[in-house]
Chain A
Amino acid sequence: MLEQIYNHFNDIVAAILFVIGFSNLLFQKNLIKKIIGINIMDVSIYLLLASQGYISGRIAPILTDGSENAVTYINPIPSGLVLTGIVVSVSVTALMLSMTVRLYRKYKTLDLDEILMKVRREKEESEK
């Protein structure tokens, strides 16, 4: 049991982080906390992805001392995928933050429930 946990330590941490991020994203009312939740969720997936490519005892796939033998290095593809994923999550975070700024300027609050309530009231007033 303990050995199993030790062998899959990265995966278990990733799973716990994913649950934390996921529940933050869905259940937090504050928009900034939601965005932090998104980031934790993304990071957990990148941890899972990066640990798939890690082979213990090997080094990062960068040619420094001239060894062209593949046995020296870890698998570079997951690292590349993680880089792509980070770019994606940076742009998503930027977009979410910009929307948050706009909503805050309009409604002077970060609470999504309160914002939705104000939006509904606005709609009802416009229909009168």
Chain B
Amino acid sequence: MDFVMNFPFFSIMLCMFAALATFMLGRKAAGIVAKAAISITLIMSVVLTAWLHMSGESFVYMMGHFPAPWGNEIRAGELEGIMAVFTCIIALLSMTTGKTSIRTQVDDTKQNLFYLITCLMEASLLALIYTNDIFTGYVFIEINTIAGCGLIMIKNTGRAIASAVRYMVVSLVGSGLFLIGTTLLYSITGHLLMENIFDSVSELFSDGSHIVTLTIITALMTVGLSIKSGLFPFHLWIPDAYAVSIAPSSAMLSGMVSKGYIFLLIKLIYRVIGFEVFKETGVFDLIFIAGVAAMIMGSVSAIRSEHLRRMTAYSSVSQIGYIFMGIGIANDAGMVAAIFHIITHGLTKSLLFMSASSFTGKKEDIRIRDIKGMGHKHPVSSAAFTAAALSIVGFPLFAGFIAKMLLANASFGEGYKMYIAICAIAISTILNVIYFFRCIINLYAFGGFEDKDRENSIAGGDTAKEEAEFLPTRYERIVHGVSVSVLAVLNLYIGVAPKLLTSILTKGLNVFN
């Protein structure tokens, strides 16, 4: 056994222990520990992905001393590796860009808890990505929910706690449905490990027995996971949760938390229920329709909202719709496109929230008409925001364009789904252009912008001093600028040279079952 095979286990455990350590440390030390742990995890994940890409294989790693049908296992392939890399990047950059927000918007004594929640979130996401046991999946879904709830309410305001309660209520319904699905699956197969369930399910399916039960199980688990990832009819908690919490929380919630559930759903399709059985149950069509509806309705709500971060949150709803539409097309190309879009949307949406944080300052949200002229005051953030907006709209050279192209390509030859998918992409793109270009035009408009901070500092006095507390320091500004530039460059790189990523995803999907 190669030493590299230990890396998935190491990365989960490292994040867990880092979370425990930050609980006892002060604010600065906690930040350093969390960043170091996630950086090491990032390096390990990159090495693992490279190693798996070279060998083109996947492996199963035994946890504990009980062999296959009884014990617990984790599995790593290229898909898992690249997802781990992607979540680490977002978690790390959210922490570096969010320094100002954490310092000014979280209580002094509770700032180390932000790092605790981030490490816990990363650990639970990694476990969701790597797990080969469906009940472990359920447990880490719950840990992920609790950590997500913590991310929302780390800002101790009434609004934040109220939206955390709403998030929790909706999420618990989702995980309840997932648990019932797991229970029924165990009762008809007698297994909890994904490979064993897969074998039993295909046996049951070829017998023709338990077809109704299998359909119910698939529907329950799919609905449960789509409630948690915020698919269209269940999206009502998204705008509150994303727009109320502090900027790094929103970046992580939108960028990686909802994506972990979608990845688990893809795992369920390929490794638990089996692609053919899943297709036979007709749940794919349900996902497809909900995805298309989300693409349109999310964009319409985004156009109607007046506030910048709320608009970005609604845009998340429509982008999640794209991902589910890709899954609903029900072929391998669609699945590759969906995972590609998981990654591009994660990178883009977290970039939007991070760069928007320098426009909003200490305020929770900002009206879109109030960002007039901000482009001249925050050049780096505005450039990054523009890049991310262009990427989401699907402008060539950016990652979003490749994702949309892959989605459209995947739908060819799929009958009625082709027409619906292409029309939906076209309509949604036009709607995206409407609301994002409104922001960009406002950003770079002249006039209407008053330099209140400078007036204040000239006037001197206590208010200016208090204001200065909330402004980012020089060091924080530099770190913020570098981090958003890294994300923007990554976006551009995937857009210009998507070959590497698509080859990893295609190869990973081939060895997935």
Contacts and interface: CB of A to CB of B under 8 A. Distances in A.
B501 interface: no
Contacts of A77: 192
B64 to A, nearest CB: 13
Given A26-B173, A92-B172, A96-B165, A78 B179 contact: no
Interface residues of B: mostly helix, strand, loop or mixed? Answer: helix
Contacts of B135: 81, 84
A78 B139 CA distance: 14
B183 interface: yes
A112 B240 CA distance: 15
Contacts of B183: 45, 48-49, 52
A95 to B, nearest CB: 6
Contacts of A107: 158
A90 B135 CA distance: 17
Contacts of A25: 169, 172-173
A123 interface: yes
Contacts of A84: 135, 139
A7 B392 CA distance: 55
A21 B156 CA distance: 29
B369 to A, nearest CB: 13
Interface residues of B, number: 26
A45 B180 contact: yes
Interface residues of A, number: 37
A88 B139 contact: yes
B185 to A, nearest CB: 11
A74 interface: no
8 contacts: A25-B169, A42-B176, A48-B183, A92-B168, A95-B149, A118-B158, A119-B159, A123-B159
Interface of B: 135, 139, 142, 145-146, 149, 153, 156, 158-159, 161-162, 164-165, 168-169, 172-173, 176, 179-180, 183, 186-187, 192, 364
Interface of A: 18, 22, 25-26, 31, 34, 38, 41-42, 45, 48-49, 52, 77-78, 81, 84-85, 88, 91-92, 95-96, 99-100, 102-103, 106-107, 112, 115-116, 118-119, 122-123, 126
